[in-house]
């Protein structure tokens, strides 16, 4: 089976966000707490009913920091995507019973299945982990049809046994 992958920032971003939200489900909650702190701090300037005598610096700092998290995450991912040349190449993934051969415009790698740590299927992609932190991402949008997705899923499940 051969799967050609051309990564886009949108597919990369979707997969990374789902990975982060799966590993740290508190991020949306922290963002809401940050917005609440900013609203509280802004109320100092708008004649709040609590009549604060001093500027709420702590709430402002916490609000700015927590509200900035998703924006900094987006810009770090954008920088990572743009700085890595392999994300901009068409990559062919050749699946055989013995190995995965990855061919790009500037590289070629052959990885035996025993070198993989685990396989994971996400909503938008398959992740083939070489270690706990390094994975090969294959977006589901790269597949020609649903049958190809099912075939790869079955193949990866057979390797995990």
Q: What is the pLDDT along the chain (161 residues), one digit of tens a residue?
A: 889 998 889 888 988 888 888 777 788 888 888 888 888 888 777 776 566 677 778 888 888 888 898 899 999 999 999 998 888 889 999 999 999 999 998 899 999 998 898 898 988 889 999 988 888 899 998 898 999 999 999 999 988 76
CA distance 155 to 161: 11
113 token code pair? 């299945």
pLDDT of residue 110: 93
Residue 122 dihedral angles phi and psi, to the nearest 5°? -105, 175
Q: Which residue has the tokens 């890595």?
A: 84
Query: What pTM did the predictor assign?
Result: 0.72
CA distance 31 to 24: 13
Cβ pair 81, 87 in contact under 8 A: yes
What is the Cα 112 distance to its own chain's centre? 25
CA distance 62 to 68: 10
Q: Which residue has the tokens 């509280």?
A: 40
Q: Is 102 helix (H, G, I), strand (E, B) or coil?
A: strand
CA distance 59 to 62: 5
pLDDT of residue 23: 74
Instruction: Give me the half-sphere count of Cα atoms (radius 13 Å) on the Cβ side of residue 4.
Output: 4
CA distance 39 to 37: 5
pLDDT of residue 159: 86
CATH topology of domain 2-6+88-160: PH-domain like (2.30.29)
């Amino acid at each position: 089976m051969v799967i050609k992958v051309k990564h886009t920032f949108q597919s990369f971003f979707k997969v990374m966000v789902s990975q982060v939200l799966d590993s740290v489900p508190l991020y949306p909650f922290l963002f809401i707490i940050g917005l609440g702190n900013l609203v509280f701090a802004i109320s100092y300037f708008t004649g709040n009913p609590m009549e604060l005598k001093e500027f709420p610096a702590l709430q402002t700092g916490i609000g700015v920091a927590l509200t900035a998290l998703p924006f900094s995450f987006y810009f770090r991912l954008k920088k990572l995507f743009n700085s890595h040349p392999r994300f901009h190449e068409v990559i062919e993934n050749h699946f055989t019973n013995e190995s995965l051969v990855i061919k790009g415009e500037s590289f070629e790698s052959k990885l035996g299945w025993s070198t993989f740590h685990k396989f994971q299927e996400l909503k938008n992609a398959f992740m083939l982990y070489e270690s706990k932190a390094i994975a090969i991402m294959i977006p589901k949008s790269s597949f020609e049809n649903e049958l190809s997705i099912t075939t790869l899923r079955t193949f990866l499940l057979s390797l995990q046994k």
